[in-house]
Chains A and B, each alone.
Chain A
Amino acid sequence: MSFNAPHIDYAALSPVLALTVGLCVVLLSAVFKPTRRMAPGLTIVTLAATAGLLIWRWDNPQGLVTGALRIDDLAISISLIAILTAAFAVFLSIREPAAEQAGSGEYHALLLGSVLGMVLLAQAQNLVTFFVAIETLSIPLYILCAANMRREKSLESGLKYLIVGSLGSATLLYGMAFLYGGSGSTDFAGIAAGISQKGVLGDPLVLIGIGMTAVGLAFKTSIAPFHQWTPDVYEGAPTPITGFMAVATKAAAFAVFVRFFDVALAPQASEWQPALAVLAAISIVAGNVGALGQDSLKRLLGYSGIAQAGYILGGLVVASEAGINALVFYLAGYAFMNLAAFAVVVARERETPCGDHIDAVRGLGAERPQLAWPLTISMLGLAGLPATVGFIGKLYLIEALVEGDYTWLAVFIAVGTMISLAYYLRVVAAMWMRPGGEAVATPAIAGASPEADPIDSEAGKRLYLVAPAMLAAAATVLFGVIPQPLVEFAQHAGASLF
């Protein structure tokens, strides 16, 4: 009896392997009581190596592990966004109390574990890898949210995320079971083929399956009305992790969202398109209206992320190549804009006693222009004003939507953007249009944590916080003025599906 081992393409698997090895090394490094900078350093090396290997595989699509995974430009572009975000999170975590309490090695190993889940998720080709990857992504995040063990809010955030996340996963899994029942396959391509030959019994099963998987993915991407956990979890989690979740989780979940709906469920497009369009519209309204009264910057960014997820979902709704291009482009731009904002929030959290309250950035324009500019650019970009990547991203999405005959959703994006100005510009106004000073003198305003972490009055000048903020803001403006490179990057991603 002979056993034929499947052919393993190590070259194409190399990014995943590199991440796995790096994860183990970082975890083990904690055992040997290393210097303080060892774990972050190794994490950055791992991320850089993975990114390098991913870029090496660019423009060379390939199925892996007997078709369970597929490394193509969509997977690579989304993985690169996740890795970039993780690298930012590593820098923002330097001297982060959460990282020190959880143990630097463990903290960074968990971060890498989550990235591994994202890289796998972006390549998933069947329901099993899909589910395994999404859990690999989520479980480390449940722990990381609760990493700041001395803060009640952080623990609450971790628990909330665990419960809601599990509910989402369960819904997803249930939906997958229905889909398997309806189509007779776990493979995305097989599901598409199975659905096309509609059996009498197949149809209702498939519809329920589509509905439940959509709900499960909506939980993960925080699309309304499945978004209620987002602001609470974002607020309580350690801020570098919030930034990581807001960008990377969303990117990875959207990657599989795209693959699943635009490949596996493509034959049923006319049935799920209107449903997802309605979800997008609800998300745009709920996110933008919810953000209006927020005083906590992290909650504000959380709600803004819900609205932005609604915009991004628009790219999926039209189920066209232009839509996917727009979606990837917007995700990349969204990463830059959000990372700039979170870097500034981290700096101000450590520098002032106001926590992430909006008062923390009061008078920032005069006090710390090196932080005020990145946050200003980020806010203007998220609001979609010209000369930022946010404007081009909206333009791209609206173009795809109008082309796909979803002009009404494009109008929703425009209306949502108007509402969003009220809260984005409120942050800008706090920085430039009000004198600072007195806010710093009154500690523990509502929203600030009473068990606040020690204050580092020089945090606003630290290079490891200022440089990421400046870098992300510079990218926001650069790709707003010269968007063509990023457009081509996104077009590669879209072309790999159609």
Chain B
Amino acid sequence: MRYDAQPFEILENTRIADGIFDMRVKNDVIAPLAVCGQFAHVYVPSKTLRRPISICDKQDGVLRLVYQVKGEGTRLMSQMKKGDSVDILAPLGNGFKIEQGKRYCFIGGGIGVPPMLYAAKQTENPLVITGFRTSSLIILQDDFKNIGAELVLTTDDGSAGRHGFVTDVLKEKLGEFDEVCACGPTPMLKAVAALCAENNKPCQVSLEERMACGIGACLVCAVKIKRDGRELTLHVCKDGPVFNAEEVVF
């Protein structure tokens, strides 16, 4: 795998929900290499570390990065302007493995929803379950509708869509798909993984961990993985971010 960091032109960087921004960046050389579930490592001037952001969508040399302002780095990202250049190391990591002929259920929780869009676009008739804490944080509903997905919205507080968790919906729909791909907070992923295991549904989960290099050299983004009867310490950036849920030690 060749790695490269290159300047991307910012085509758009707009707020789409409370504290959530939609950035579109263009680079004709490395953007087209991205597959669903991979991430972009964004350089933020003055910061020591890049920000790993999941790839929400890709089209014609443009990557779409939907991110939440969580700290100083993402706050600075949100202030970047259309026409500016941003240095991005991408695409990184291993994405979702999508097989033709299967019906997939994509589950996103909060800021784990964005990578589900590009993944869902790779499949026929996807079922998409999105969950948010509250209505002000809802994103990407029109995008999922536009690709023809069967879409379910839940909120933890009942302020929009169905009152409850994505797992409540997943339980009811277990007979309607072959495999699950999920991204979101760890408790959600753990619950989704457990449900899938109980019901013999294959499940891929995209994990998050604090990162530095993004390529597997510095070893900070550790994750415990059970494989061939042994517990291994692997790394989200290089071995993931997508893992087989059965192997993850939550």
The judgment on whether A and B are partners is no
Binding site for B on A (CB under 8 A): none
Binding site for A on B (CB under 8 A): none
